[in-house]
Amino acid sequence: MKRADQLRSLYTNTPPRYRVYPSLLKFPFTIKNASSPNASKPWSVRGVLSPKFVALVREIEELVQLKESCRGDIVTPDIVEHFDQQRVWIADGLTYLIVQTHNNLTEAGAYEGCCCLAALLYHHVHFLSFVRGVQSGILARLKRGLLITDLDKCWGDDIELLLWVLFTAAAAENVTEDWFLAALRRTQKTLNPRPDLDRMKYILRRFLWNERTSSPSCDKVYEKIV
């Protein structure tokens, strides 16, 4: 029912009707990613992303870490329950923010909306199977939001964040929209020197990234844009 509620929210631009609460179960580990040299840097250099959004992406990072830590181990029912509850709560929170930013038809609203849509896309790819039509709907909204922001002016010092947004969209499975690849190709050309594949991964590790799953997708997308 929650998935249907989130889907309804995305298509009607109204907040989710059913309240979801975060899991109270906590784990002793903290996020440690030795391969992420820029992990301490803020998501947005311009500082226009809301604390709510930043908190939600940190929750996604923790869920990624939990999933990776469970690989090859016996998973207890408590962990399964926590994982299921947390992934739905995160999707619900991002959906709510997407609706809010959609109703804030300014460049700043569209800016955060694009980041929320990319984070939701990443979240679905890693934790939730797509309901028919959801991915194409998210990508269509993301394209509209990016067009509102004016890629050549709005993102400014957050050009690396824009690269992550575009990479996330272009790496989604069965993407038929060449617009994201063209925008990504144009954006990476604005960097001087133009980043090679290793440098591109170095940049993208600042944001939502899983070495095991993100690197192969990055390789495929990079091959298409060079």
Is residue 98 helix, strand or coil? helix
Amino acid at 2: K
pLDDT at 128 over 60: yes
Name the residue ranges covered by the structural domains of the chain.
Answer: 2-29+41-225
Amino acid at 95: T
Average pLDDT, integer, range 183-201: 90
Q: What is the pLDDT, as a whole number, of residue 16? A: 74
For the beta carbon of residue 110, count every other beta carbon within 10 angstroms: 21
What gap in Å lies between CA 50 and CA 54, rounded to an integer? 7
Residue written as token pair 């604005």: 190
Greater confidence (100 vs 27) lies with 100
What gap in Å lies between CA 56 and CA 91, rounded to an integer? 9
CA distances from 47 to 106, 108, 131, 156 (A): 16, 11, 33, 12
pLDDT at 219 over 70: yes
pLDDT at 5 over 80: no
Q: What tens digit of pLDDT does each residue of 137-177 get? A: 889 889 988 888 877 666 878 889 999 999 999 988 766 67
What gap in Å lies between CA 161 and CA 169, rounded to an integer? 13
Residue 130, CB-side half-sphere exposure with 13 Å CA sphere = 18
Question: CB-based contacts of 74: which residues, under 8 Å, 6+ apart?
Answer: none
Residues in the chain: 226
**Cα Rg for the chain, rounded, in angstroms?**
17
Q: What is the pLDDT, as a whole number, of residue 35? A: 40
